[in-house]
A = this chain, B = another copy of it.
Amino acid sequence: MDSGEERHGEGDYGDVVTMEAVRELQAGYTWADVASLESPAEGARVRVRGAAAAVRAVGRRVAFLVVRQGAATVQCVVAGGGGMARFAAGLSRESVVDVAGVVSRPREPVRGTTQQLVEIHVEKLHCLSRAVPNLPITVDDASRSEEDVARAKALVHVGQDKRLDYRVIDLRTAANQAIFRIQCQVENVFRQVLLSEGFVGIHTPKLIGGASEGGAAVFKLSYNGQPACLAQSPQLHKQMAICGGFGRVFEVGPVFRAEGSDTHRHLCEFTGLDAEMTLRDHYTELCDVVDKLFVAVFDHLNTACAAELEAIQRQYPFEPLKYSRTTLRLDYDQGIKMLQEAGVHVDAMGDLTTEAEKKLGELVRERYGTEFFMLCRYPSAVRPFYTMPCSDDPRYSCSFDVFVRGEEIISGAQRVHDPELLAAQATARGVDVGSIAAYVDAFRYGAPPHGGFGVGLERVVMLFCGLGNIRKTSLFPRDPKRLAP
């Protein structure tokens, strides 16, 4: 028996059931976060709790353990041989461990961990939660870029479906840790900018009587015996809040669409960022808000979230989004003209196909050097009946879409606030006015000119980071086939 065997007693390592027990076993050490382990002085006695991301035995005397907390990792050295090194070597990956030990500077920077200039010399090691030995997917495999997998055929490729089946493990990758921190920041900047512009945050009901505005793509249910459905958009209630005297409102909340087709950009449930506001002179006041809002979001991500963007880049390489200080606004007519000049066949008064939108995005990037722009004054015929026609030419409407990298990300418009015009436009489109009576009636008690817009949070993150599949930016996505986990 060597000195190492003696150095670690039985209470120094093992499986423990409760955090209260390990607190006693590791008394005298100070809690630390892996991400800030460079702060404690060399020689400090610290405790960290994290996942055993990697376990490697070197002979029978030493074991190296990489402990991960969020996206941060640190090397922990179990030296001196004996029971503790064997215990460490026997830990299944992803088990949750408490490591107590001394902060040390390694002779050479550690490779493969985020903490490269610091490691922990382990004095106590306890396992609070054993992971099953054969994980369905590993964090390492789930973290590889497609390029890495393509280069070395022996590497396991983890498909999108399998990732989502075992999302609890998949979320532990550095890229996923970054994606959802970025998503939180997008929402936060959205809220902060709108609050500073005098908007009030509201919550409108998701349970709606009857069959909602949208027809087919609606989830139906029974509400204590009454027919009900899930809101496909908060628009009606946002508008009612405006009629209720709140001059500017926004909402962040789930939006439900019973989509039938699987695409890279549609989900059956997503997080809507919605705003609605009274207008003074012109619907382009909406564009002014969108402009300020999204330039602030993009600026914030590029400055405050540089580390997160880098983490995403490592697994999913993308070009930084090109955008300008003041967002380019084109009229629909101008967009049509650009497409026609490029030889694309488009109907000047019809809607743009996804391909035409993509092409227009390319043309705009070439000519104006931006991948974020607004297309205004859509033909009335391709917008919903509640869209306000332009006062100078009713064939066009007070509406706009916003594009990022050639994909629509925001849709906005001034709404018809006059109940008679609203009813007339509904009738002209073949919408039964009786079925929308409650909506029309909301404007009979005095309604100011107003408009709004809606954005999908997942789509903002997907397009900003060029991720190519909206399932990557939804924590637990719901698509036509997937309802779990």
> Which A residues have a C-beta under 8 Å from some C-beta of B?
17-21, 23, 31, 49, 51-52, 68-71, 94-96, 128-132, 135, 166-172, 176-177, 180-181, 183-184, 187-188, 191, 195, 200-209, 219-224, 226, 228, 230, 237, 240-241, 243-247, 252-254, 256, 258, 260, 268-269, 271, 278-282, 391-392, 417-418, 438, 442-449, 457, 475-478, 480-481, 483-485
The answer on a CB contact under 8 Å between B241 and A171 is yes
The answer on a CB contact under 8 Å between A20 and B246 is no
Inter-chain CA distance A176–B246, complex, in Å, is 10
The answer on a CB contact under 8 Å between B269 and A31 is no
The answer on a CB contact under 8 Å between B70 and A207 is no
Please give 5 more A-B residue pairs, beta carbons under 8 A apart, in addition to A207-B256, A219-B221, A253-B254: A51-B245, A129-B447, A132-B445, A176-B245, A224-B480
Nearest residue, chain B, Cβ from A132: B444
The answer on a CB contact under 8 Å between A237 and B475 is yes
Most buried by B among A96, A181, A203, A245: A245
Contacts A131-B445, A181-B200, A269-B207 hold; do A221 and B220 have CB atoms under 8 A apart? Answer: yes
Pull 28 A–B residue pairs with CB atoms less than 8 Å apart, ordered by A.
Answer: A17-B391, A19-B281, A19-B282, A20-B391, A70-B246, A94-B446, A95-B446, A128-B417, A131-B446, A167-B244, A169-B244, A169-B445, A170-B244, A180-B200, A180-B246, A203-B254, A204-B475, A205-B478, A206-B254, A207-B256, A207-B268, A209-B484, A220-B222, A223-B268, A224-B258, A224-B480, A230-B230, A253-B253
Inter-chain CA distance A171–B202, complex, in Å, is 13
Contacts A237-B475, A444-B132 hold; do A279 and B246 have CB atoms under 8 A apart? Answer: no
Inter-chain CA distance A176–B195, complex, in Å, is 19
Contacts A168-B445, A240-B476 hold; do A20 and B282 have CB atoms under 8 A apart? Answer: yes
Inter-chain CA distance A223–B49, complex, in Å, is 40
Contacts A240-B476, A254-B206 hold; do A31 and B445 have CB atoms under 8 A apart? Answer: no
Inter-chain CA distance A169–B449, complex, in Å, is 17
Indicate how many identical chains form the complex: 2
Specify which chain B residues have a CB less than 8 angstroms from the CB of A481 in the assembled complex. 224
A191 CB → nearest B CB, Å: 7
Inter-chain CA distance A332–B188, complex, in Å, is 38
The answer on a CB contact under 8 Å between A206 and B448 is no
The answer on a CB contact under 8 Å between A168 and B240 is yes
Nearest residue, chain B, Cβ from A256: B207
Inter-chain CA distance A169–B243, complex, in Å, is 8
The answer on a CB contact under 8 Å between B226 and A483 is yes
Specify which chain B residues have a CB less than 8 angstroms from the CB of A128 in the assembled complex. 417, 448-449
Closest 8 CB pairs of A and B: A171-B244, A94-B446, A131-B446, A221-B221, A172-B245, A209-B483, A184-B201, A20-B391
Specify which chain B residues have a CB less than 8 angstroms from the CB of A483 in the assembled complex. 207-209, 223, 226, 228
Nearest residue, chain B, Cβ from A457: B203
Q: Of B69, B195, B201, B254, which one neighbours A254 at CB under 8 angstroms?
A: B254
Inter-chain CA distance A445–B52, complex, in Å, is 11
Q: Of B20, B237, B271, B480, which one neighbours A203 at CB under 8 angstroms?
A: B271
Specify which chain B residues have a CB less than 8 angstroms from the CB of A195 in the assembled complex. 184, 188
Q: Of B177, B223, B240, B446, which one neighbours A129 at CB under 8 angstroms?
A: B446
Nearest residue, chain B, Cβ from A421: B17
Nearest residue, chain B, Cβ from A247: B70
Inter-chain CA distance A392–B478, complex, in Å, is 42
The answer on a CB contact under 8 Å between A200 and B224 is no
Q: Of B17, B244, B281, B476, which one neighbours A20 at CB under 8 angstroms?
A: B281
Most buried by B among A170, A447, A480: A447
Q: Of B188, B201, B221, which one neighbours A187 at CB under 8 angstroms?
A: B201
Nearest residue, chain B, Cβ from A170: B244
The answer on a CB contact under 8 Å between B207 and A446 is no
The answer on a CB contact under 8 Å between B206 and A446 is no
Most buried by B among A18, A191, A240, A247: A18
Inter-chain CA distance A482–B485, complex, in Å, is 32
A155 CB → nearest B CB, Å: 21
Inter-chain CA distance A200–B223, complex, in Å, is 33
Specify which chain B residues have a CB less than 8 angstroms from the CB of A94 in the assembled complex. 445-446
